[in-house]
Amino acid sequence: MLTISDFKINPNHNQGYDYAFRDVVRGRDQRKCLPGCTKPDCCGNQFRVLAEQLNNGALQTPSQEVADEQLLEDFLGDNAYKLQNMSEAEKAELLLKAKTRDLANHYGKHRHAYERRKSPPGFWDTDFPTTQEHMVTKAQEKQYERDIVAKRYEEAMRPGGAYMFRDE
């Protein structure tokens, strides 16, 4: 099972640096190279709704189907082989995520090389937790770590992604 420590920063994605940092990116052309914001509590829901509206069940031409396949392969990177075993519902959800990311990269206002990390669960709790609260916080921490690992795995599998595996 993968952990957070199994990944490292991709220096090819980060101007040659092997650590994540937030730097001011000046100039429209340089900002266009950064990925768009897809966080659900910021811009992601708007782009997802837009992607759903653009894909609301209309019949697709063969060229649109080829473009969608190419978008899915770019989105999955080295995991593109998994498309063969996916159900239609899984492909539809994945295509929606890929279109959301594509729309955010083309039209998104918020851009960043590495998004700011959220505070871990329970970090701002000032009181000593009860046993039950402690157990809930531990479960939230495990889910938080699994989410981070899933995002880093997706990036590591994409060519030129923000993260790479530690042993590469």
Residue pair 4/148 in contact by the 8 Å Cβ criterion: yes
Confidence of residue 11 (pLDDT cuts 50, 70, 90): confident
Kindly state the tokens that stand for 138. Answer: 């531990």
Report if pTM > 0.85: no
Reading phi first (left if > 0) and then psi (alpha if -120 to 50, else beta), residue 77 is in left
* SS3 at position 130: coil
Closest Cα partner for 7 from 160, 159, 150? 150
Residues whose CB is less than 8 angstroms from the CB of residue 22 and which lie 6 or more positions away in sequence, other chains included = 112, 113, 114, 116
Q: Which one is predicted more confidently, 96 or 15?
A: 96
Q: What is the pLDDT of residues 66-115, one digit of tens each?
A: 888 888 888 888 777 888 888 888 888 888 888 888 888 888 777 776 67
**Phi, psi (5° rounding) for residue 9?**
-65, 140
